[in-house]
Amino acid sequence: AQTVTQSQPEMSVQEAETVTLSCTYDTSENNYYLFWYKQPPSRQMILVIRQEAYKQQNATENRFSVNFQKAAKSFSLKISDSQLGDTAMYFCAFMKDDYKLSFGAGTTVTVRA
Amino acid sequence: KAGVTQTPRYLIKTRGQQVTLSCSPISGHRSVSWYQQTPGQGLQFLFEYFSETQRNKGNFPGRFSGRQFSNSRSEMNVSTLELGDSALYLCASSSGAPLNEQFFGPGTRLTVL
């Protein structure tokens, strides 16, 4: 079974600053997919960014970027120029070719004005 | 394009009853996944359907079941409700390939008394 670990239950960041969320996973698979999801207080889960394991290049979506270290099984998320709307719970998730997302416990990010 | 809809949004049941939750995916999406979210266990995968076929199932007791109709709408049923079934039940739809974005609905909040 795949496990996803998010070691930071809570993070706080000043508006316009940068915050990095950590995620590690355990798998014996060589090809898989990694995701970061955001769940704001309204509860609607939204995809932030995704990465295919066979791609070396780190994914970037506007202010969101990842640092994917396949050998270390690490997939961290960097939020640059943090905005108040970034306040949410962030989940790291793993999927192989079985259509099943395995989620980490989540990190609550609070952006301070 | 309309998003994923889930009905009802809130539900209160008593122990021993059964409940049916409904999920309508985004038009054109053929995959529907269900997840249970609780403070203690986090987000856990229940099952995934594609074109009326269950492709994967999580580690839940047989009281949890689901189905998908020819129009891709899906229902999940929980029989003989227990207090521990109180949770937010999330439905997600996608086109069906692993890397394709899963779009989540707002969830159904089930409370078992």
With CB atoms and an 8 Å threshold, state whether B42 touches A105: yes
Q: Are B91 and B34 in contact (CB under 8 A)?
A: yes
Model confidence pLDDT, tens digit, residues B48-76 = 999 999 999 999 999 999 999 999 999 99
Helix (H) and strand (E) counts in chain A? 0, 12
CA distance to partner chain A, nearest, from residue B18 (Å): 25
A41 touches chain B (CB under 8 A): no
How much is the average pLDDT of B15-39?
Answer: 96
Mean pLDDT of chain B: 95
User: What pLDDT, on the 0 to 100 scale, is given for residue A1?
Assistant: 65
What string of DSSP letters covers A58-112? Answer: PPEETTEEEEEETTTTEEEEEE-S--GGG-EEEEEEEE-TTS--EE---EEEEEE
Q: In terms of pLDDT, which residue wins out, B82 or A98?
A: B82
pLDDT band at B22 (very low <50, low <70, confident <90, very high): very high
User: What pLDDT, on the 0 to 100 scale, is given for residue B1?
Assistant: 67
A105 touches chain B (CB under 8 A): yes
pLDDT at residue A2 tops 90:
no
Model confidence pLDDT, tens digit, residues A31-89 = 999 999 999 987 789 999 999 999 889 999 999 999 999 999 999 999 999 999 999 99
Q: Which residue of B has its CA nearest to A100?
A: B45
How much is the average pLDDT of B15-42?
Answer: 96
**Collapsing DSSP states into helix, strand and coil, what is residue A31?**
coil
User: What pLDDT, on the 0 to 100 scale, is given for residue B42?
Assistant: 94
pLDDT band at A97 (very low <50, low <70, confident <90, very high): confident
With CB atoms and an 8 Å threshold, state whether A101 touches B98: no
Q: Are A39 and A46 in contact (CB under 8 A)?
A: yes
pLDDT at residue A108 tops 90:
yes
From residue B53, alpha-carbon distances to A98, B28, B82, B92 in Å are 13, 16, 27, 16
pLDDT at residue B97 tops 90:
no
Token representation of residue A27: 């798998």
How much is the average pLDDT of B13-27?
Answer: 97
With CB atoms and an 8 Å threshold, state whether A103 touches B98: no
A97 contacts in chain B (CB < 8 Å): 98
pLDDT at residue B47 tops 90:
yes
